[in-house]
Amino acid sequence: METTVVEAAATAQDFSFFALFMQADWVVKAVMGILAFMSLWSWAIAIDKWLSLRGAHARARAFEADFWSGRSLDSLSDEYAKRPRDAFGRVFAAALREWSGRGPGSRVSRAANAEAARELSRMENGLGVLASIGSSAVFIGLFGTVWGIMNSFRAIAVSHDTNLAVVAPGIAEALFATALGLLAAIPAVIFFNALSSNLGHYATRLESFADELSALADREGGK
């Protein structure tokens, strides 16, 4: 008879995500809200950075194909350096400022590499947020879980009853906070690693171009 009552009470409980949120303590609700915001934020950053890097790689391919096509530096300067539209154009413009001043190759190299570093630093914006979400979301969710379990124990103490109908809602709310923490952290870590690798390939490409400009300046200076 007691088993039947417990099963009926447990069945009557609504364990949908919305119900778990509405039934949760205000602290657990705040944790869930923070985690939902962090998850949406990480997705927004990831999509924005992926589109940005995709465009950057396409422009880099077009620039390199044009740069090594045999055109004169004056022609390339008129098209890319006077109104630079991307990182490669700005590195090229920075190198030309020293080149046109008949500076040595070392000065061209420093100017190009400094501009490349600034461009890469600008492109890294947002990756730190993904890293922070990936490392902290699980612990924020764990805090919500601990708080929810504490509330479950309080409910047991007040009701002097340990049956499933009393314990299950609080435990479900607590575990829901952990699930949201994992839902925010796992994609953020994947996004961070994938975007960091992609940006690393772009950085190698840009730094190699800066070194090639320095080598060209040395050859021109040695003539």
What single-letter DSSP state applies at residue 223?
Answer: -
Cβ 145 vs Cβ 174: under 8 Å = yes
Q: What is the DSSP secondary-structure string of 109-144? A: HHHHHHHHHHHHHHHTTTHHHHHHHHHHHHHHHHHH
Q: What pLDDT shows up at residue 31?
A: 85
Cβ 20 vs Cβ 172: under 8 Å = yes
φ, ψ of residue 168 in degrees (nearest 5): -60, -45
Instruction: Supply 82's token pair.
Output: 């006077």
Instruction: Supply 92's token pair.
Output: 């090229």
Q: Which residues of the chain have pLDDT under 70?
A: 1-24, 100-106, 155, 159-170, 220-223
Cβ 87 vs Cβ 204: under 8 Å = no
Q: What pLDDT shows up at residue 201?
A: 94
Write the pLDDT tens digit of every residue in 64-100: 888 888 777 778 777 777 777 888 888 888 888 877 6
